[in-house]
Chain A
Amino acid sequence: MAVIKLKRPKLSWYEHLYLPAIIKGLLITFKHAVISVFGKATGSKELASSGLGVTMQYPEQKWDEHLPEYYRGIPALVTDEQGRERCVSCQLCEFICPPKAITIAPGELKSDDEWAKVEKAPKAFDIDMIRCIYCGMCEEVCPEQAIFLRQDYAMTGTTRAEMVNDKDRLYQLGGVREGLINKWNEVK
């Protein structure tokens, strides 16, 4: 690493007084105060501010339409076009999950199911949202593209049990996803 030696600047007598510099600083803060009171602070438009400074008043104003495509929110399970579970309970997500938020009980499809011979499905699939860190590794690792991070971010509960998303709730959150890999799709 190169060492850069800096010389202290030589101050003139005018700068040694410090008072002009302090007054300049006071004027800068005052300018900021005036601008932010009138709602013209830099970036207030882009950040959808409430009119005072650049801050957005959260519950009244939300940033939903500004959320980027790649936003990582609550993880959820999805079904395909025909309503079949995509998850085959391979448990890769359970193993990769850094905070160990995912618990899967592997199971089989019911014997009268059309695909019972071919595919498996989880018996239970719990994601503990208190533990989840929204890293998105489950989504990346899933070979079946069954788990996705949604754009929702406001998940609350009053008890610990409420904060655990079970299989039904995960499918309800995730809904249907189309146009992905369709391994066993007859139509294809």
Chain B
Amino acid sequence: MEGLFFYAFSGFAVIGALALVAFKNPVSSAMSMVASFLGLAALFISLNAYFVGIIQILVYAGAIMVLFVFIIMLLDLKAEERKTKYNPLFLVGGVFIPLVFLIQLCGILPHVPNAEPEPLHLKESARYFYDQEKEASKEEQSEIHKSLSKGDLPDVNLIGLTMFGHKGDNETIKTPGYNFPLQIVGVLLLVATVGVVALSLRKKTTGEPEPGDPDSRPEP
């Protein structure tokens, strides 16, 4: 059953990716990219990684691609579709890169043991990962422990734990976490956003419209 879903969703993702390249209409391409993202998210979810799969949909399919579609729709699509300049270099690039991947795949595949893969013991490993001793003491159980004892895998909490670290009972750091790098990356993104705004803001202090300003064109 899981195998069936895996092939269905990966087929969905691959077909979406192929269609993204094949379509001439940019909106069709963007929509097939969304389909590909959805297939990918479904694969994540079938691997028990709910949080990653959902964030994949929320960020890529639900926000970034919407902006893409928004911009594409405002373009002159007829002109885009008419563009059929053929360049033989495209073909060379298109053949060369898949060829490299194919050779890599052929190199790896013979070494994979052709056996039924063992089911992942996610819950056991997670239990090992966190609060073994608390299970014994039975007092002030964490959310992770509670979900584990109910038989769920608290992937959101585990991701948070891995990201931000955790201090043990005696104030020693159990897992260091990536709190500081995460904040730095956040600041970096903020700087990039501010830069985009600063670059794209047009100055209109003199009151006279600039020559490139669409508002300054005379009325027909």
In the complex, are there CB atoms of A and B closer than 8 Å? no
